[in-house]
Structure formats: C-alpha cells, structure tokens
Amino acid sequence: MTKTRVDDALVGYDPSQFPPFAVTVDVVILTMSEGELNVLLVRRGQAPFEGEWATPGGFKRPTETLDEAAKRELTEETGVDAARLLTQFGAYGDPGRDPRMNVVTVAYLAVLREVGAVVAGSDAADARLVPVTDVLNGKVELAFDHERIVRDAITRVRVELEVSGVATAFVGVTFTLAELRAVYEAIWDVQLDGANFRRSIVAENGWVIPTRRRARPGAAGGKPAELFRAGKLWKYGGPIRRPQLNQKRK
C-alpha cells in the first residue's frame, strides 16, 4: 500500500511566471520512391547546424492548433494540402536540443503518394528525398535530434501499417497488388508471398476496390495485373498482420 501525496504546489501556478519555450512542429514526410522508403529532408542554410540535413518544420503560431501547424508546414513544404496520413507521434524537449534556447518540438508523420521533383528554396541550401536506410545506418547525419525523430517515425509507420492499413497512402490512385505489396515489404523489411498477400488483401472486404482495368506488364512481361483503388481505411486491425520473426525465408 503506497501512501499517495498530492503535490498541490504545481496545480495552480501562474503560467506566465515560468520559463518560456519555443514550440515547433517537425514533419517527417515519408514516401516510396524506386521501391524504397524515403524521407524528405532539407539542408539547413543557417547556423546552427548549417549545411546539415534536417526535417522540415517551423514554429507553431498561438492562433493555430498543433495539427493545423503541421498541416500548414506540410503544405508550405510540399504544396500538398492533404496527406492520407498526418499523425502526431511524439514530442521532444531535451535540454540543449536547440543550442539557442529552449525548444520543444512536436513531431508529425506524413505519408505522401508522390513527392515529385524537390526544389530547394532561397534559404534552404538543398532539399531532397533520402532513403531511410541511409538515415538509420548513419550514412546521412541529421541536425538537432532529428535522427531520433526520424527513427521514431519509422517505428510509428511500421505499427500504423498494421493497425490502420495505411499502405494505400503510399501508392497512386490506382495500383496493382504488387505495388501495394512492395510498400509492406519496404517498410517492414520482409518478403511476402504474392499469392498469400492477394488472398489476405482481397479477403478484407472493402479495403481495396477492383477496377475493371488492368495494368500494362513491365518490360519483363508477365500477366497483366488487376488495378485496384483504395477503399476505406481501418480504424483497428488492418488487412494483413506483420509476419513474426520465426518464419522461414526461402
């Protein structure tokens, strides 16, 4: 039995008497490109961390919500006004994470079908898509604590893929099951059997909607794949589960 003592001193303080923080939002923009999971990064044009890569972000305005700030940043950075998935996944406030002052940032995950050509503005030295593997293995170093933020974003999207079935957010308006399967394989870093994948996906009624059309086969030939379009998103429990680690690889 633990005695509980309520430290009331902290309940009624005047907030204006407390040390101020700057509050920012950072958006980890993920997209598929050439079969790989990529993250959109900008190269900083100013100190601190000048010349280093960072996730796009900016300051929250007092008149907007955190979600609105993230949505605004996403639009400003990419021109896209609505991602299929824009989810808050963490807040970061370690002392010294910004050398200038106390900054707490709220991180969002955005999933885009296609980012297209990335152009750098006047203040950012550069902007481009970077394979997430390059970030995870340290090949590309990020400013501030953005590597940790990106790492957490990957973890989040892996879970999100299973519980909400957000995979269709990565592909085009119409897509083949092979394209969709590539999303799962890239994000989960697994190999999925095409036949079993189709069985699971089609079994979930309403998640993908068959169109009458078929895709043209690639240069290697093959039977033309059926084209689908995205149906409803899941609230809980996606169409397929993440394979456990004990499965064999052929």
Minimum distance, C-beta of residue 165 to DNA, in the bound complex (Å) = 12
Q: Does 245 bind DNA (CB under 7 A)?
A: no
Question: Cα–Cα distance between 180 and 12 in angstroms, integer?
Answer: 52
In the shown chain, the binding pattern of residues 148 to 177 toward DNA, with x for contact by CB under 7 A and - for none, equals ----------------------------xx
Q: Does 118 bind DNA (CB under 7 A)?
A: no
Nearer to a second copy, 187 or 226 (CB): 187
Contacted by 172, from DNA, a second copy, none: CB < 5 to 8 Å by type: none
Nearer to a second copy, 226 or 230 (CB): 230
3-state SS assignment for residue 209: strand
Q: Does 195 bind DNA (CB under 7 A)?
A: yes
Instruction: Name the DSSP class of 39.
Output: E
User: Which one of 122-130, 133-141, 191-199, 222-230 is the stretch in contact with a second copy (CB under 8 A)?
Assistant: 122-130
Nearer to DNA, 63 or 205 (CB): 205
Q: Does 198 bind DNA (CB under 7 A)?
A: yes
Contacted by 226, from a second copy, DNA, none: CB < 5 to 8 Å by type: DNA
Give the residue from 87, 93, 195, 83 showing the smallest Cα distance to 144: 93
Residue 39, CB-side half-sphere exposure with 13 Å CA sphere = 30
Minimum distance, C-beta of residue 240 to DNA, in the bound complex (Å) = 6
Question: Cα–Cα distance between 108 and 86 in angstroms, integer?
Answer: 6
At 50, the amino acid letter reads E
Question: Cα–Cα distance between 241 and 237 in angstroms, integer?
Answer: 8
Q: Is 79 left (phi over 0), alpha (psi -120 to 50) or beta?
A: left
